[in-house]
Amino acid sequence: MSHHFAGAGDVGVPLKSTGSMRPIITELDNNKRGSIRTDVADLVMVKYKCSSNGVPITQTNGSTLPLVPGSSKDAEFGGYNPFDHRTVQYPTTDMETFIHLLKGSLGSGILAMPLAFLNAGLIFGLIATAVIGFVCTYCVHILVKSSHKLCRRMQVPALGFADVAEVAFLAGPPAFQKFSGLFRGLVNTFLTIDLLGCCCVYIVFVAKNIKQVMDEYILDINVRWYMLMMLPLVIAMNLIRNLKYLAPLSMIANILVGTCMTITFWYVFQDLPPMRSVPYITDWHKWPLFFGTAIFALEGIGVVMPLENNMKTPQHFIGCPSVLNIGMAIVVVLYSTVGMFGFLKYGDDTEGSITLNLPKDELLAQSVKVMIAIAIFLTYSLQFYVPFEIIWKGSKHRFTSHPMIFEYLLRVILVVCTVLIAIACPNLGPVISLVGALCLSFLGLILPSCIDLVTSWEEPGLGKLYWRLWKNLVIIMFGILGLVTGVYCSMLDIIVQFNQ
């Protein structure tokens, strides 16, 4: 590609160039009475367009600007197709992406769903779980759809989660552009804190489940020793650098989770009480406990954009049918089934994890704890992938001499830090769920609605009777409700543990 540059005297004048090439800083906006946009946002967008199209950024005294394909919204309706320009070294197939999506959504939260139903009631729990699952899936859908729109407008092949947030505000109405850096920072910060926190919780979860089995049959030792013994295995697993090679681990984890659920259901369906033995709906003051558990169990927004960006056929991720819809439908059905029958079986005696209600003197029941521990252990790498990418992307420019060595070193350091934090705070769960409540409500519900609103503000607009505005405001309020209830539930857990 040849590079053309505009001189200082040309700034502020719409320029023409060969083909679709034109200076990004000057754009005639026909919708604004012929005014010429020379916003700072246009200059900042050079970063995205040049880096994604392989054009070096060359500036002389701020007046020499690179010419790259234009950012017209007309590109959405033809011309540039971002999927044709993606170059992924190890692209994942639809099935591999489906497996990763299931594993990213099927975490330890599924084991807590019977307790969630205890705080909602049998029928209300089923309805509310379906509603929450639909809203979470819809938010992922509008996030990915907005990403595709922005890729076409900017004529870049792919955008990460933080990139989508920043570019949406940069390319939106002028009043919103000043918030672009803020939202990018919030996305990266919340994703890193939440997912590294999940990694810490996974270490604690695996160690405690293994300890329960070892205490019963072999030797009673401190749970911290199990965490320390896991460290070499966790380091080795996280030296895998791409999602394609992690797919077999996710498949094994999914098989183990499926086996555990099968064994659990075998115990649950023995002498199952009638439906009238449990309440259909509980007192409303218990509902926040249900919403707090269900929203954060179902939300897997952190892994969505990396999965979509690494697909061989990303156009199959959303739509009907699609990888997203099929995967989330299975997740919601599994969560609802476990919650409903687990609560029906154990009623008021339902524990925080349904595995704790299984018989402690039977080998088959104890094997469930081992398998679920292995499944969660194998999920660590998928959770670790996103925060590492964020941290490495922001720091790799400092290590230009031997980047591969420093990348592996950073991986080891971060893994060691998560294990050390877990060893230092083996009761970290409530604190991390508090952080997760703050992070996931914003990332999974509030932010996708904001991005959809800003992206659609001018084109195609807010719709008849401003339906798009009201729709997104409802989801944002729902997200705020999730934030409040999640924080409320987490604070209750923290207070209980503190008193103990």
Q: In angstroms, what CA-CA distances link 212 with 109, 111, 218, 373?
A: 19, 16, 10, 11
70 pLDDT above the threshold of 70:
no
Q: Contact, 312 vs 91, CB < 8 A?
A: yes
What pLDDT band is residue 429 in, cutting at 50, 70 and 90? low
Looking at residue 336, its pLDDT comes to: 92
Q: Contact, 487 vs 437, CB < 8 A?
A: yes
66 pLDDT above the threshold of 50:
no
Percent of the chain with pLDDT over 90: 14
Q: In angstroms, what CA-CA distances link 305 with 17, 132, 313, 443?
A: 34, 20, 14, 12
Phi and psi torsions of 21, nearest 5°: -90, 135
231 pLDDT above the threshold of 50:
yes
469 pLDDT above the threshold of 60:
yes
For residue 83, which amino acid is it? F
End-to-end CA distance of the chain: 67
CA distance 217 to 371: 16
Q: What average pLDDT does the segment 34-63 reach?
A: 42
What is the per-residue pLDDT across 154-178, written as a single tens digit (0 to 9) for each? 888 888 888 899 999 988 888 888 8
| Long-range Cβ pairs for the range 316-323 (8 Å, 24+) | 316/94, 317/97, 317/144, 318/141, 318/144, 318/145, 323/94, 323/97, 323/98, 323/101
Q: Which residue has the higher pLDDT, 253 or 105?
A: 253
User: Hey, how many other C-beta atoms are within 10 angstroms of the C-beta on 399?
Assistant: 15
What is the per-residue pLDDT across 240-285, written as a single tens digit (0 to 9) for each? 877 778 778 878 888 888 898 889 889 988 888 888 888 999 888 7
217 pLDDT above the threshold of 60:
yes
Nearest to 311 by CA among 80, 82, 106, 141: 82
pTM of the model: 0.73
DSSP result, 327-344: HHHHHHHHHHHHHHHHHH
Looking at residue 77, its pLDDT comes to: 52
Q: What average pLDDT does the segment 92-109 reach?
A: 79
Q: In angstroms, what CA-CA distances link 268 with 28, 125, 258, 306, 355?
A: 66, 18, 15, 37, 11
CA distance 202 to 206: 6
If 0-12 CB within 10 Å is exposed, 13-18 middle and 19+ buried, where does residue 186 land?
middle
**How many helices and strands, by DSSP H and E, does the chain display?**
17, 5
User: Hey, how many other C-beta atoms are within 10 angstroms of the C-beta on 94?
Assistant: 16
Looking at residue 13, its pLDDT comes to: 39
35 pLDDT above the threshold of 60:
no
